[in-house]
Structure 1
Amino acid sequence: MSIAIDHPSWFYGFEYKPLIPPADLEDNYRRGRITEAEYTKSYNLQLLALDPRQVFLDLGENAILLCHEPPGQICHRRLVAAWLEKCLNIFVPESHYREPKVML
């Protein structure tokens, strides 16, 4: 399930628009106009306007939220996971992708 503004060309899955951050928020952060703390605060305000139970029902119990950020970058998917964990008292596990080894 994608909650990103843009998707890789190979992605043909579903998206969940209520969790997609506003384009201007992403742009302002990427251009250094706002800090990570400001980004996080603004995105968390977006989450507070949503009903976490409804989001969980909409996504489905086995949903996987995709992230396209490299390690160490701010990740709104992780902010969503923390919000769901706090509001619903659930655990949202991380799944770490590993680049395949090239065999010659």
Structure 2
Amino acid sequence: MAEEKDNKYRNLFLGLLFDAVGMLSFVIPGIGEFSDVIWAPVAGWLMTRLYKGRVGQAAGLVTFAEELVPGMDVIPTFTLTWIYTYLLSKKKSAKN
């Protein structure tokens, strides 16, 4: 139980950090969009490491695509995945 709680907050911290890294491309016009080509596969891979199973695979693909599309960096996919995993899916499973 304690390990799950540790992972929960570790994943939140890392998710916020990775979302911030993904948004850095807005800071440097022109060069920033090029950096997304490098960051997109890294972000997708990191997502699959943070969240196992189908959630991680689906979120990894969404993250990869979101980072590649110009202007979509404002979507905090790591944070949204954390909310889904630790808040929304827990409520859904509690109803069943």
TM-score (norm 2): 0.31
